[in-house]
Amino acid sequence: MTLASPSLNPSSSSPIKDPRYFRRFLAYAFDYKRLLIVALLAGVMKFAVNYTFPWLIGAAIDKVIKPVDETVTEAQRMHWLWILVALGVGFSVLHSIATFARGYFTAKLGNRVIANLRQDLFDHLHRLSLHFYSKERTGSIVSRLITDIQQASQIVNGGLITVAMDLFSVTLGVALLLTISWKLTLACIGIWPLYVLTYKLLNPRVKEASRRVQSQISKISGNVQERLAGISLVKTYAAESREMEQFEVDTEEHYDRVIEQSTLSSAVTGISEGLVHIGQTIVIGFGGWLAMQPLERGGMTPGDVVKFLGWLSVMYLPVRRFAEVNVVYQQSLAAIERVFQVFDITPKI
């Protein structure tokens, strides 16, 4: 048999791009469908309950604080107040339970995937021939087994489940906003193409920067393992100063690559935050104007404006987090590719 994969240390100018790696990784998560489904349902419940609190505040304004119907009696207002308080307590308890369940089952799923993937890779390494080990650094191999798999697992903990929940939350948010004002809703989601453009332009650069960081960590790990294993030889030839200088060079290169990655990640997050605040400003301006109009002419009540702002804020939480999830996804995808490169290596003999 032949060596059927690229080197474990590809040059930084030739990134690996293979969607099969991602599908192979997802297969590990889909082996635990029950855990995945329970974690998703808990997350969906958590974000659905978030939408209830802006409604409670808006209802309190329109039915208790300043009723739209001026014929409402004091007793009726007090009745509504007690109902809203009871609902608030119930939703708070439900949110707490959903938050715990989502965190617990997501962690259980993510760590189960790590354990299985790491065991499979360890078993695969033992099946490889000595030809492989004669060409590759032990430290680099260990880096794949420990560091890269740990990084890849973040796509389960912070990516796969979170994206599914966020898509549900955004869809529910848009549906709720449309029940208040379709005009204001369209104005707010009109800035979404700018999000798509941002991710399309910066995603490839974030992924490549992440791959370069992980590649340098692998290089440092390999160098350190070899030098410490041969420390007696280093001391025999009084080469300590040379080794320390080389380690400083490697560390500084890693620093530069991390700063490059951080700069690109911060750019994605910064642009996303700016777009979120622009959307909220649209509500203040256009929503305030609609609140000045009579209800029969498509106007909004003060409670409607508060509910709209609240629901928009809840809906923008996933949009905000998507910038962070996007960075995690790109970093994890680079790690996944590095891990499955090793799986693609077959014994020479």
Which of 321, 205, 202, 212 minimizes the C-alpha distance to 257? 212
- pLDDT tens string 34-66: 888 898 888 888 888 888 888 898 888 888 888
pLDDT tens column, 211-243: 788 778 777 877 777 777 777 877 777 778 888
Long-range contacts of 196-202 (CB under 8 A, 24+ apart): 198/268, 198/271, 198/272, 198/275, 199/268, 199/326, 202/264, 202/267, 202/268
Tokens 């256009």, located at residue: 286
pLDDT along the chain (349 residues), means of 10: 46 51 81 86 86 88 82 87 93 91 85 86 84 74 76 69 77 88 85 80 77 78 75 78 84 87 80 81 84 78 84 78 67 77 75
Dist CA 48 CA 157 (whole Å): 20
Two tokens at 235? 């001391």
